[in-house]
Every structure is written in C-alpha cells, then in structure tokens.
Amino acid sequence: MIWGLATIAILAFMLAFASHSPGWMGLGIVIGLLCAIAAALVFIDRHVRASSRPEHMTAREIEALRGTLRKPTEPSRQLPPSPPG
C-alpha cells in the first residue's frame, strides 16, 4: 500500500508536469499531494510502531522491577532535640 501511494504520487506529479491543460495539471497536483501526504503518514506510523514498546508488562518484567526497588530501612534511633534553654 505504501509503495502504491508513493508511485501514484510520482505519476500524478509527472502528469501535472507534462500536461498542457490546467485541469489535468490541477488534478495531478491535488492527487500527488494527497498521495504524498498519505505515504508520509504511513511511513511515520510504521516507524513509530516499530520503535514503541508494548503497554503491558509480563510477570517476569514486574518481578525484575520489584528487585531493583530499595527496601525501606528502619529509621535510626536518635535522641529528641534538647529544649531551648
């Protein structure tokens, strides 16, 4: 689909460049722009999907994440502050 859109865009721009009629030129430009924008959006969508992570975590990943967390330590025993005197 993506290569079809890119091919149609190139052919439409070639039609617009080669034609002497304003109607064919306008049609070629409009179709070329629409197909070029659609092809660019499909390229972007594929790139984003290829570089994104899934939204859910497996049980193994959750356990690994829990292992990296620090365990809470007991608060150290300190003397209370002395009263102002």
d(CA 36, CA 43): 11
Cβ burial, residue 29 (10 Å; 0-12/13-18/19+): middle
Q: What is the DSSP letter of 43?
A: H
pLDDT tens digits, 1-50: 889 999 999 999 999 999 999 999 999 999 999 999 999 999 999 999 98
Q: What is the domain partition of the chain in residue ranges? A: 2-49
The better pLDDT of the pair 24, 66 is held by 24
SS3 4: helix
Amino acid identity, residue 44?
A: I
> The whole model's pTM is what?
0.60
